[in-house]
Structure formats: C-alpha cells, structure tokens
Amino acid sequence: MSTPKTDSTWRSQQWFGASGTPGFAHRSWMRSQGHPDRVFDGRPVIGICNTFSELTPCNGHLREIAEHVKRGVLEAGGQPFEFPVMSLGETIVRPTSMLFRNLVSMDVEESIRANPLDGVVLLCGCDKTTPALMMGAASCDIPTIVVSGGPMLNGSYRGQKIGSGTSLWSMADDVRAGRMSEQEFRNVESCMSRSAGHCNTMGTASTMASVVEALGIGLPGNASIPAVDARRRVLARDAGARIVELVREDVRMSDILTREAFENAIRVNAAIGGSTNAVVHLLALAGRIEVELSLEDFDRNGATIPLLVNLMPAGDHLMEDLFEAGGLLAVMRELGDLLHQDAITVSGGRVRDNVADAEIWDSDVITSLAAPIAENAGIAVLRGNLAPGGAIIKPVAATEALLQHRGRAVVFHGADDLRARIDDPDLDVDESSVLILHGVGPRGYPGMPEIGNLPIPKKLLRAGIRDMVRISDARMSGTAYGTVVLHVTPEGAVGGPLSLVRDGDFIVLDVPARTLTLDVPPAELEARRSQSRPEKRRGGYLQLFDEHVLQADQGVDFDFLVGRRGVEVTGDNHWE
C-alpha cells in the first residue's frame, strides 16, 4: 500500500484546487448544482458509478442504493458525485450482453480517468455489470469498493420455490414436452420475479456478487442481503463511509486484488456451486489488474473443493435462504484454511477478521466440510484434440453417468441452424448422441452468448430424456444445468477443431481424466480443415470487437485493454 495522502494531494485538487481559467471553469459550472465553497476545500471526491437503467431490471433500484452511498460519503467527510455508465440487462439486450461487457469497461475506465475522482463506488448487479465495472476500475487502479444490488426475493408458485432462470429452463422443457400448458407457463412470470434485485438462484449475478465478497473488494454481506432488505441500504451507506477512509489510506484495487484474493474467489466459487461464467470474468479482471491467472488455476484451486451451498441450480434453495442461513461469511468460515485467511479486504480487516463471528443457522442450506453436498465441486478444465486451448464443465450440475461418455456427434452450424433443426422429428439423434454447436464463440456469434445448454430435442424430451452431453464454444447461463461442455477454445469461427466435427463422428468425454477427444484420425481432420479465413465484420463496434477480442481462455477481453493504465491525465480543456 502507498503512503496515506493528505488533503493537498488528492487527485481531485488538480481540478478543484487549480487557479486561473481552468480552476474557475471546474468550480463555477459545478456551483450550478448548488455546491458551496466547502465542496472544493480539499475533501476526498468520490465517484458513484451507477448502472441504473429501467432496461436493466436487476439494477432498477440502484438510484435508491446510490442515495445511501452518498449519505455514507458525506458522513465520512467526502464529497460524492454520481455518474452513469452504459447498463447491460441480461434479459433484454440483444444479441448478447457479453458483446458489450468490454465496451462498458471502457466507459467506466475513461469516466474515472477523465474526471476529478479520488475513489469510486461501483454499483452493479446484473450479470455483466459487475465484471465490466471492476475491469474498468482495475485499469485505473484507484481506491474502489463494489456494492451489488442484491438478489430478488424467493419465487413461489403453487407452494413450490421457483428460481430465476433455473425454473424457467425446466418449465420451458415441460412446455415443449407437453407436460405444462402455455397459460400455466405465462402465469409463473410474476411469481418468479417478485421484487427488485438480480436473479435469486446461484446464477452469474449471485456468483459475481459472491466473487466480489470473496475477493475482498466488497464489504462483508455484499453477496446475499436481499435487494429489498433494509440491511442492503446499510451496507451501501457503510461502503460510502469506508471508501473515504480507503482514499485517505491510499488503498488501491491492486492492494486488494492479489493472487491470493483470486485463489480465494475460485475456491469460494466452487463451494457455492457458482457459475461457469466466473471463469471468463475472473480471467479478464486478473488481466486488467496484472495478476497472473490461467485456466488451469480454476482446476488446480477449485476442483477438489466440496459443495457446501444447497442452492439452485445445483441444489434446492435460493439466495434469500442463503442470507438467512448465515450468508457467504458462514461459507467462508467453514472453508477455513482452504482460503488465504490473511488476505486484506476493503473492510479494513483480513478475511479471518471478517468471518470470525459468522455462524451457520440452517445446515440444509449451508453444510459443513465434514458432510458436504458433493465432493470435488469446482469447475473442471478439459483438453484434447477437440479443445487444445481448453474447455470447461461444471460437474456438480451434470449427470454423473455422462461424465465419462462416448457418443455420436449431431452437429449444428450456428444458432440459426440449431433453432431450425433441434425439434425436427426426423433429426437423427438418440439419448447417447453428443450435441455439438459451433460458431457461437466470442467472434462467431458475435459475443459468446449463453446458448451452450442446447435444448434437448423435443422427441427425446417426450421420451423422458432430461440430459445429454452438449459441447459448444458458447457460454451457459449460471442458472442453467446439465452435462454441458463450454468455452471450447479456440472457437470454431477462427478455425478451431470444433468446426471440423461432422455428423456421426465419435466424441469421447472423460471428465475424471480431464480430456475431450474427437475420435477422428489426424489426417482426416487436416483434410477437412478449411484454408479460408472467417469474414471480417465491417463498421462500428462490431468491427472493433471482431479485430481485438481474445479467446475464452484469456477472458474474452480486448487485447488493447489488458493491464493497468492508471489515471494520470495531461492537458486541460481550458487555457490558463
């Protein structure tokens, strides 16, 4: 950590403490909002980066959360200024919100750098808003705290818990199989989404809120306090007060986001049955903060961690239940020395201090290390001639009998082909087949959508089949489940082996051995390999994305965004 700063050395004083024309301009136009002299007297200036949007339902309550952060900042002697950045609604944005994660990170980074901010509080919730905001702030590396919006209340329909996404996929299959009517399906909509907040399952939003707490970049309790619970407002206020202290102590993101912090996050993600999407987001964040992290680290650090949290999609309960059972702090305390207990956090304490008083109040929701829900719950990394750059699978969400499987490939060439043929009664498929989808990776779609959990063909659903081996270069919603191999690298659109698979080829999946093999002679594969380069998309952001996006094993970030660039800015918009 750096030497604590004094009032005269705040970055914001380069703006508000300046003399002449620039200082006049910076102060005068801010006065139009009713700010008195004391706002410019050298107190820490805190940016509140808000992803509120009515088009992002998960973040629709963040205006109120921002007000509580402001109160905390003022209480601690700082000056808050709220600013907006592009918001990504997972349920609304097309073709996929992942296409724009890096764009939002650029918005965040340049907004921080260009403005007189000494520290920042990041307000996020929906899936991509959390990693995007952290990535942008990491490249600036100023004092930072993340405040998540919190999960929505438990869903309930006809006396049964229903979880965001997880129950949707299950019921959608029931509709396709004729077990549920369209009207019943429609009736469930308002029963699933009952309040403000992000998904209440252990999907990507809840996973990333948990990752924030496990990394130590959010205050204790960040992961699971429901969005509408008054304690979420208290946490926001505490974050506002604490960020002022972090500025005074000059504790930056790089002081918190160490190698040990990332290892803690990987291990916690395994223990909670977290989303596979955490892989690409943590890899991208590590690249920004300049911490060495690879795909193998997820297997090495997480594969043997037991599953301790009984939440959908890997279990039965929802985030509100996790909060009442003791929250993430109880999970982290139970993990004990499996975590780096001396890792520092934005709370001012180390991990061991934060979890010291945590208790498990419901052992059906949070289990002990001695009696876990499942062993070896972490993400498994697969390699082989079908995935030379790696692929991942979440074993606890899969069917155990399918973790070692040899089956005949049924190949879909892109999302449109999948939609057109998956329910064709003449599709040559049976329950032992392996469904292959390529052309849906970072460049292929573009944006790497969450369609890796390919639907089971309708004729098999009606025969009672609920799971099959599915392989793609896409991602999968954290709320989904099944024996699904994801993030196959390199993707098919850049000539990866997945694009060489043909109907009838045999695929061998062996999760215990960590292999994924296309059982076709090398000479035959070489003969199939196309020499043509994929077409470039021309114009606008899509061209930028196509030319600079990295593959899944590197976090799907842009090559020119990796690393820290700081916040030093030369020059001013006004003459002296």
Structure tokens at 130: 């959390």
Question: What DSSP letter does each residue of 201-214 carry, written as one string?
Answer: SSSHHHHHHHHHHH
For 267, the 3-state DSSP assignment is helix
- Domains of the chain in sequence order: 43-154+194-255 (3.40.50.2300), 380-528 (3.50.30.80)
Segment 261-315, tens digit of pLDDT:
999 999 999 999 999 999 999 999 999 999 999 999 999 999 999 999 999 988 9
Q: Is the peptide bond before 95 cis (omega within 30 degrees of 0)?
A: yes
* pLDDT for position 166: 82
> Residue 42's CB: how many other CB atoms inside 10 A?
16
Please answer whether residues 448 and 440 qualify as being in contact, where contact means their C-beta atoms are separated by less than 8 angstroms.
yes
* pLDDT for position 533: 55
What secondary structure, in 3-state letters, does 351-371 show?
Answer: HHHHHCCCCCCCCCCECCCCC
* pLDDT for position 174: 87
Based on the number of CB atoms within 10 Å of its own CB, is 175 exposed (0-12), middle (13-18) or buried (19 or more)? Answer: middle
Angle separating helix axes 327-335 and 204-215, nearest 10 degrees: 60
Q: In terms of Cα–Cα distance, which of 503, 499, 500, 505 is closest to 519? A: 505
Based on the number of CB atoms within 10 Å of its own CB, is 527 exposed (0-12), middle (13-18) or buried (19 or more)? Answer: exposed
Structure tokens at 466: 């609920």
Q: How far apart are the C-alpha atoms of 471 and 451, rounded to whole Å? A: 11
* pLDDT for position 86: 98
Report strand pairing: 434-438 vs 469-472: parallel
Based on the number of CB atoms within 10 Å of its own CB, is 173 exposed (0-12), middle (13-18) or buried (19 or more)? Answer: middle
For 138, the 3-state DSSP assignment is helix
Structure tokens at 347: 């709370």
* pLDDT for position 125: 97
Query: Alpha helices, DSSP H only, in 4-86?
Result: 13-16, 20-31, 62-75
Q: Check residue 151 and give left, alpha or beta (phi > 0: left; psi -120 to 50: alpha).
A: beta
Q: In terms of Cα–Cα distance, which of 152, 108, 143, 113 is closest to 128? A: 108
For 273, the 3-state DSSP assignment is coil
Q: How far apart are the C-alpha atoms of 85 and 15, rounded to whole Å? A: 22
Query: Alpha helices, DSSP H only, in 405-551?
Result: 415-421, 458-461, 522-528, 540-548
Q: In terms of Cα–Cα distance, which of 451, 211, 427, 237 is closest to 332? A: 211
Q: Which residue spans within 355-463 are E strands per DSSP?
A: 380-384, 387-393, 404-413, 434-438
CA distances from 90 to 14, 112, 165, 478, 514 (A): 38, 24, 11, 12, 31
Q: How far apart are the C-alpha atoms of 399 and 463, rounded to whole Å? A: 17
Please answer whether residues 232 and 65 qualify as being in contact, where contact means their C-beta atoms are separated by less than 8 angstroms.
yes
* pLDDT for position 576: 61
Return all residues near 382 (Cβ < 8 A) that are at least 6 apart.
390, 391, 392, 393, 485, 509, 511, 514, 515, 516
Q: State which H helix or E strand residue 309 sits in.
A: none
Mean pLDDT by 10 residues, the chain (576 residues): 62 93 92 93 96 97 98 98 97 95 98 98 97 98 98 92 87 88 91 93 96 98 98 98 98 98 98 96 98 97 96 93 98 98 98 98 97 94 98 93 98 96 97 97 94 95 95 91 96 95 98 98 90 66 95 98 95 72
